[in-house]
C-alpha cells in the first residue's frame, strides 16, 4: 500500500515525504508551481501534474495501490489571497474537489488535510483550541475552512475518513541539513530574517507596530516541520488502526513570539546584527495566533520536540549551508 502526497515538492510536503519513505511507499504529485523537484526524496515516485487533472489522478489511482492521501498542495500566502482571491478558491477549493471526487471514485478512503490557524480569524481567546470559533478574515483561511466543511459532509455519506491538521506557523529545516524552507519569492518571516543576516537582503520590514500585543508587533506560534511531519504519520496510523477518524487537531508549540522576538532570536542564533525597518500592517494579518495542541496529545501522544531556539537553529544551519 502506498501514500499519495499531493504537494510533496513543497516545504512541508517534502519534509513529510522524507519521514515517510523509510517505512512507506510514497508517490508525490506536484505541479512545481511553488515547489522544487530537488526537494523530493529520491526514494519516492514523482508525478509532475496538477491535482485538478482527472486523467493524472486516474493514472495514479489505477497504477498504485493508494491507501491514503496527504494533501499539502495549495496556495498559502495570506496577503496574496487578499489581492487575488479567485486564485485561492480555484486552487485550494476547486482543484481539491477534483482530488476528492477521484478518491471516492477509486475507493481511496483516508485523507489528511493541511489546514491552518488562519481558519480562526481574530480569535476571542489567548490560546486557541479546536473549539474556538472559526471566522477567517482572509480568502486563504476561508478556502481551507470550506474544504474542512466539505470533508465532514463527504464522510457522512461515503466510506471515507479524514483528519484535518490546523498548523500554526511552520518553520525550521530537516536535521539532515539536506532540505529546508524554500519559497520563491520568500514571504515568511524566519527565512527572510535569516536571508538578511546572511547578507542576501538589505533589511527586514516589520509589518505593523500598533497591534494589541506586548511590543505592538504580531505574535505567532512557530512549529518545526519535523514535528508537523510526525503528526501526519501518527494521524495516518491512528486512522489505519481504527483509533481515530474525522477529527480536527491544532498543531503548534503553545507559545507565542512577536515579530521583534523572532528577529532577536535570529540575531542570537546567528551572532549577527539586523537592520530593521518598521512598515505598515500587511493586509489580512491577525494580531495573535497561539495554539493549544492538547487534543492531539491526548488522542495520539503527539508533542512537539523543537522549541524556538532549536527551530531557528535548524533553519540557520540549513541557510548557512
Ligand atoms: N507554511 C506554513 O506555515 C503553513 C501553515 C499552515 C498551513 N500550511 C499549509 O500547508 C501546506 C503546505 O504549505 P507549504 O508552506 O509547504 O507550501 P509550498 O508552497 O512550499 O508547498 C505547496 C506545494 O503544492 C504544490 N501545488 C500547489 N498547487 C498545486 C496543484 N494544483 N497541483 C499540484 N501541486 C500543487 C506546489 O508546487 C508546492 O510544491 C499548504 O496547504 C498550506 O496551506 C502551511
Ligand atoms: O517580512 C516580513 C514577513 C512577515 N512579517 C510578519 O511576521 C508574521 C508571520 O508572517 P509569515 O511568516 O508570513 O506567516 P503568516 O502570515 O503568519 O502565515 C503562515 O502561518 C499561517 C498559520 O498561522 C499559515 O496558514 C500560512 O500559510 C503561513 O504562511 C506576520 O505577522 C507578518 O506580518 C513581517 O513583519 N515581515
pLDDT band with cut points at 50, 70 and 90 for residue 126: confident
Q: Which of the following is catalytic: 11, 88, 89, 140?
A: 140
Which of 18, 29, 34 to probe ligand 1 with, by most ligand atoms within 8 A of CB?
A: 34
Report the pLDDT averaged over residues 147-170: 98
pLDDT band with cut points at 50, 70 and 90 for residue 304: very high
pLDDT, the chain, mean? 97
Q: How far is CA 312 from CA 280, 302, 320, in A?
A: 25, 21, 12
Q: Please, which residues bridge with residue 116 across strands? A: 167
Q: In this structure, which residue's CA is closest to atom 19 in ligand 2?
A: 169
Peptide bond into 245 cis (omega under 30): no
Q: Is 269 in the pocket of ligand 1 (CB under 6 A)?
A: no
Residue 146 phi/psi, 5-degree rounding, is: -60, -45
Report the pLDDT averaged over residues 142-149: 98
Neighbours of 122 (CB within 10 A): 12
Q: In this structure, which residue's CA is closest to atom 25 in ligand 2?
A: 116
Q: Is 50 in the pocket of ligand 1 (CB under 6 A)?
A: yes
| Whether the complex's predicted ipTM surpasses the cut of 0.95 | yes
Which atom of ligand 2 lies closest to the CA of 144?
A: 25
Per the listing, cell 495514479 goes with: 60
Of 183 and 35, the one with more pLDDT: 35
Which atom of ligand 1 lies closest to the CA of 13?
A: 16
Q: How far is CA 156 from CA 41, 101, 151, 153, 246, in A?
A: 36, 15, 9, 5, 10
Sign of CA dihedral 268, 269, 271, 276: negative
Contact predicate 34/72, CB 8 Å: no
Neighbours of 112 (CB within 10 A): 23
- Whether 182 shows a pLDDT value over 90: the answer reads no
Q: Is 74 in the pocket of ligand 1 (CB under 6 A)?
A: yes
CA–CA separation, 294 and 109 (whole Å): 26
How much distance in Å is there from the Cα of 243 to the middle of ligand 2?
34
Q: DSSP letters of 98-165?
A: HHHHHHHHTT--EEEEEEEGGGG-S-SSSSB-TTSPP--SSHHHHHHHHHHHHHHHHHHHSS-EEEEE
Q: In this structure, which residue's CA is closest to atom 11 in ligand 2?
A: 188
CA–CA separation, 208 and 16 (whole Å): 33
pLDDT for the residue numbered 95:
98
255's grid cell:
507559545
Q: Can you state the angle between helices 189-197 and 259-270, rounded to 10 degrees?
A: 40
- Strand boundaries in the chain, DSSP class E: 2-6, 25-30, 45-48, 66-71, 110-116, 161-167, 169-171, 204-207, 219-220, 222-224, 247-251, 257-258, 276-279, 288-289
Report the pLDDT averaged over residues 89-97: 98
Which atom of ligand 2 lies closest to the CA of 171?
A: 12
pLDDT in tens, 220-278: 999 999 999 999 999 999 999 999 999 999 999 999 999 999 999 999 999 999 999 99
Residue 275 phi/psi, 5-degree rounding, is: -105, 120
CA–CA separation, 263 and 209 (whole Å): 14
Q: Which residues, judged by CB distance below 6 Å to any ligand atom, belong to the binding site of ligand 2?
A: 76, 78, 116-118, 168-169, 187-189, 192, 205-207, 218, 220, 259, 282, 285, 289
CA–CA separation, 109 and 238 (whole Å): 14
**Residue 222 annotated as catalytic:** no
Which atom of ligand 2 lies closest to the CA of 167?
A: 22
Amino acid at each position: 500500500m502506498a501514500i499519495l502526497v499531493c504537494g510533496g515538492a513543497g516545504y512541508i510536503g517534502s519534509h513529510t515525504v522524507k519521514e515517510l519513505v523509510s517505512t512507506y511507499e510514497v508517490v508525490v504529485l506536484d505541479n512545481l508551481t511553488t515547489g522544487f523537484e530537488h526537494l523530493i526524496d529520491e526514494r519516492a515516485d514523482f508525478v509532475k501534474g496538477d491535482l485538478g487533472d482527472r486523467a493524472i489522478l486516474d493514472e495514479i489511482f489505477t497504477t498504485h495501490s493508494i491507501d491514503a492521501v496527504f494533501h499539502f498542495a495549495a496556495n498559502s500566502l495570506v496577503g496574496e489571497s487578499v489581492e487575488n482571491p479567485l486564485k485561492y478558491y480555484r486552487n485550494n477549493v476547486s482543484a481539491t474537489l477534483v482530488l476528492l471526487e477521484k478518491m471516492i471514485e477509486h475507493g481511496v478512503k483516508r485523507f489528511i488535510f493541511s489546514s491552518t490557524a488562519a481558519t480562526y480569524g481574530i480569535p476571542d481567546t489567548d490560546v486557541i483550541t479546536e473549539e474556538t470559533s472559526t471566522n477567517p478574515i482572509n480568502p486563504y483561511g476561508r478556502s481551507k475552512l470550506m474544504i474542512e466543511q466539505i470533508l465532514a459532509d463527504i464522510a457522512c455519506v461515503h466510506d471515507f475518513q479524514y483528519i484535518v491538521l490546523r498548523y500554526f506557523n511552520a518553520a525550521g529545516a530537516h536535521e539532515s541539513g539536506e532540505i529546508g524552507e524554500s519559497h520563491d519569492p520568500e514571504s515568511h518571516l524566519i527565512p527572510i530574517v535569516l536571508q538578511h543576516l546572511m547578507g542576501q537582503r538589505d533589511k527586514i520590514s516589520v509589518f505593523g507596530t500598533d497591534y494589541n500585543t506586548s511590543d505592538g508587533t504580531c505574535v505567532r506560534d512557530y512549529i518545526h516541520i519535523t514535528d508537523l511531519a510526525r503528526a501526519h504519520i501518527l494521524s495516518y496510523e491512528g486512522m489505519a488502526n481504527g483509533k481515530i477518524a474525522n477529527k480536527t487537531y491544532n498543531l503548534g508549540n503553545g507559545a507565542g513570539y512577536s515579530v521583534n522576538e523572532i528577529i532577536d532570536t535570529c540575531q542570537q542564533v546567528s551572532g549577527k546584527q539586523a537592520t530593521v525597518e518598521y512598515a505598515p500592517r500587511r493586509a489580512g494579518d491577525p494580531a495573535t495566533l497561539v495554539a493549544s495542541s492538547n487534543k492531539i496529545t491526548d488522542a495520539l501522544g503527539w508533542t512537539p520536540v523543537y522549541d524556538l531556539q532549536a527551530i531557528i537553529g535548524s533553519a540557520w544551519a540549513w541557510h548557512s549551508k
